[in-house]
């Protein structure tokens, strides 16, 4: 770390095992105060070139290590992050605006678990073998690491999503150049400080900080980076797809969502309401899996709405470092304005805002007056065609609408361009299976939300993504397969 100014935290790129200063920097804001508190390298082609070279140089030795050797290093890294869990959680909360409670209980524990999980799963893959006795041949598959992986991640779950990529990539024997979001770079930089102690050889993990347009695009366009794993918006994914097409790169794209929750009249509302509040407002609604369209069967619509709004009003918005707070700050001023603009559009279209933005007043502590805060907002009577029901808002805003029949609600839930995650609430087992089968969604949770088994595929349909991640899926993405035939 360099001390350009006493007050500001100044990050450096991590290339070939060393922290390297950059010639220019961009500001990073504390979303809870609106103050600049950190300077992030504004990397471009030059820095990406150096990082890719370091990763390329490190590849042959790392790729030739046994899975067990790599696994031990991943486990060590997990232990080191876990040892510093509180420092990581404080940093993630300050950098992103999320509550300290969420960072402590979700973000950082999951980053630790990502390394432990892939350290274990990489030991248990098997390849295929078949025999063609009639012609005296057997075939088998062999898998090898691909090379330098380019990893690009968003700002909503910074270390959690970056490690979800780094862990499988290096467990499989690739080396990586990672680019976290320019808005949330601090915890990735902190992790770099632990790599040497964990035994990660120089050049295996390189991190370049900077914007998507400069650093991200330089990585996507680099001819020596054959695969890109990207999590972010659908718009950016389209750009990445175009830019990487001339190189025929392998892409994994985890994108946005417009996730429905379907509540049938036989749902257990005592379970459904608190879970749907979480699925709508957890992490300020800034989770790709958050619910933003709640379809409630007409018979229980009024009761649901009354109870849901009463509970939403209890969510405390305030200083993210206060452990009693439920909703922290949104990532940026621009994002806050964007989220608010959806509420205004809904009102202009005749929808009813039942609580939150523009309806209730928000009292903030003195130090947080300039932070990017917003109350959990519930909108009712919104038309399915409204932009609030079609576009990803990615904030603490959820729409509640009524439906009559199963067939109708499936059609309406599927009537968006996204297909990431859906939840279904009903005590009828036959119905939950039937509806889950018919939803165009990469993930369907019934009578729960966000319960994840990392072994199973994760990813979206339609504009929500291309490819899947998980134990087997990430292994397949991060390795090259070869079929070998032996005549005996």
Nearer to ligand NAD, 288 or 329 (CB): 288
Question: Rounded to an integer, what distance in angstroms lies between the CA atom of residue 228 and that of residue 230?
Answer: 6
Are the CB atoms for 220 and 150 separated by under 8 Å?
yes
Q: Which of helix, strand or coil describes residue 94?
A: helix
Question: Could you tell me where the beta strands, DSSP code E, fall in 276-339?
Answer: 291-297
Q: How far is the CB of 156 from ligand NAD (least distance, A)?
A: 5
**Which CB atom, from 394 or from 475, has the smaller least distance to ligand NAD?**
394
Give min distance, CB of 54 to ligand NAD, in A.
20
Pairing of strands 148-152, 35-41: unpaired
Report the candidate in 363, 337, 368, 394 with the shortest Cα–Cα distance to residue 97. Answer: 368
Residue whose tokens read 């979303």: 31
Interacting residue ranges for ligand NAD, rule: CB under 6 A = 152-156, 161, 179, 181-182, 211-213, 216-217, 220, 231-233, 236, 239-240, 254-257, 288, 392, 394, 420, 460, 465
For 252-266, b/e burial (b = at least 16 CB within 10 A) is bbbbbbbbbbbbbee
Minimum distance from residue 483 beta carbon to ligand NAD (Å): 31
Residues facing residue 406 across a β-bridge: none
Nearest to 151 by CA among 128, 134, 168: 168
In angstroms, rounded to a whole number, what is the distance separating the alpha carbons of residues 439 and 452? 19
Residue 192, classed as helix, strand or coil, is helix
Catalytic residue among 47, 182, 254, 357: 254
Bridge partners of 484, per DSSP, are: 140
CB 401 within 8 A of CB 380: yes
Q: Which is nearer to ligand NAD, 251 or 355 (CB)?
A: 251
Contact 212, 254 (CB under 8 A): no
Cα 368 to the center of its chain, rounded Å: 26
CA atoms 465, 469, 475, 478: torsion sign: positive
Give min distance, CB of 127 to ligand NAD, in A: 28
Torsion angle (degrees, nearest 10) of CA 398, 158, 238, 225: -160
Residue 334: its H or E element = helix 333-348
Give, to the nearest 10 degrees, the angle between helix 67-83 and helix 108-121.
170
81 vs 331, which CB is nearer to ligand NAD? 331
Residue among 104 and 165 whose Cβ is closer to ligand NAD:
165
Q: How far apart are CA 433 and CA 115, in angstroms?
A: 33
Find the shortest distance in angstroms from Cβ 428 to ligand NAD: 30
Conformation bin of residue 164: beta by default, left when phi > 0, alpha when psi is -120 to 50: alpha
Report, in Å, the least distance between residue 110 CB and ligand NAD: 12
Closest separation between CB of residue 465 and ligand NAD, Å? 6
Q: For ligand NAD, which is the closer residue by CB, 120 or 233? A: 233
Q: Is 476 among the residues known to form the active site?
A: no
Residue whose CB is nearest to ligand NAD in the complex, by number = 212
Helix (H) or strand (E) holding 377, with range, is strand 377-380
Pick between residue 123 and residue 456 the one whose CB is nearest to ligand NAD: 456
Nearest distance, CB of residue 290 and ligand NAD, angstroms: 9
Specify the residue, 231 or 386, whose C-beta has the smaller distance to ligand NAD: 231
Q: Which residues are catalytic?
A: 254
């Amino acid at each position: 770390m360099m001390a350009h100014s006493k007050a500001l935290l100044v990050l450096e790129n991590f290339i070939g095992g060393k922290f390297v200063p950059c010639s220019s920097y961009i500001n990073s804001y504390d979303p809870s105060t609106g103050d600049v508190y950190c300077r992030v390298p504004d990397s471009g082609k030059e820095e990406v070139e150096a990082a890719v070279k370091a990763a390329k140089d490190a590849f042959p030795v790392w790729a030739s290590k046994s899975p067990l050797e790599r696994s031990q290093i991943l486990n060590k890294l997990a232990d080191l992050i876990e040892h510093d869990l509180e420092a990581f959680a404080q940093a993630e909360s300050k950098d992103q605006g999320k509550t300290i409670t969420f960072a402590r209980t979700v973000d950082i524990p999951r980053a630790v678990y990502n390394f432990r999980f892939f350290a274990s799963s990489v030991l248990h893959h098997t390849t295929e073998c078949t025999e063609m006795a009639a012609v005296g041949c057997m075939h088998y598959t062999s898998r090898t690491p691909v090379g330098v992986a380019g990893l690009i991640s968003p700002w909503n779950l910074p270390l959690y999503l970056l490690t979800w990529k780094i862990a499988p990539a290096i467990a499989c024997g690739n080396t990586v150049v990672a680019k976290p979001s320019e808005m949330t770079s601090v915890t990735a930089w902190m992790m770099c400080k632990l790599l040497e102690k964990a035994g990660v050889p120089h050049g295996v993990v390189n991190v370049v900080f900077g914007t998507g347009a400069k650093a991200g695009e330089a990585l996507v366009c680099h001819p020596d980076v054959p695969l890109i794993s990207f999590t972010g918006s659908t718009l950016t994914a389209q750009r990445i797809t175009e830019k990487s097409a001339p190189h025929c790169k392998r892409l994994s794209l985890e994108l946005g969502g417009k996730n429905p929750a379907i509540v049938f009249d036989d749902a257990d509302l005592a379970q459904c309401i608190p879970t749907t509040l979480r699925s709508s407002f957890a992490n300020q609604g800034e989770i790709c899996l958050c619910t933003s369209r709640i379809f409630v069967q007409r018979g229980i619509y009024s009761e649901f709405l009354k109870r849901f709004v009463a509970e939403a009003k209890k969510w405390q918005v305030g200083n993210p470092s206060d452990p009693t707070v439920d909703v922290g700050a949104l990532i940026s001023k621009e994002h806050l304005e964007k989220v608010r603009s959806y509420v205004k559009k809904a009102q202009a279209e005749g929808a009813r805002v039942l609580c939150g933005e523009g309806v209730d007043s928000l009292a903030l502590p003195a130090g947080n007056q300039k932070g990017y805060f917003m109350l959990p907002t519930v909108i009712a009577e919104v038309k399915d065609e409204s932009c609030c029901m079609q576009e990803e808002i990615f904030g603490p805003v959820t729409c509640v609408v009524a439906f009559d029949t199963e067939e109708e609600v499936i059609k309406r839930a599927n009537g968006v361009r996204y297909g990431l995650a859906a939840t279904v609430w009903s005590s009828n087992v036959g119905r939950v299976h039937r509806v889950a089968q018919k939803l165009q969604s990469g993930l369907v949770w019934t009578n729960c939300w966000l319960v994840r088994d990392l072994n199973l595929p994760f990813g979206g349909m339609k504009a929500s993504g291309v490819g899947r991640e998980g134990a087997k899926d990430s292994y397949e993405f991060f390795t090259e397969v070869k079929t070998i035939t032996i005549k005996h």
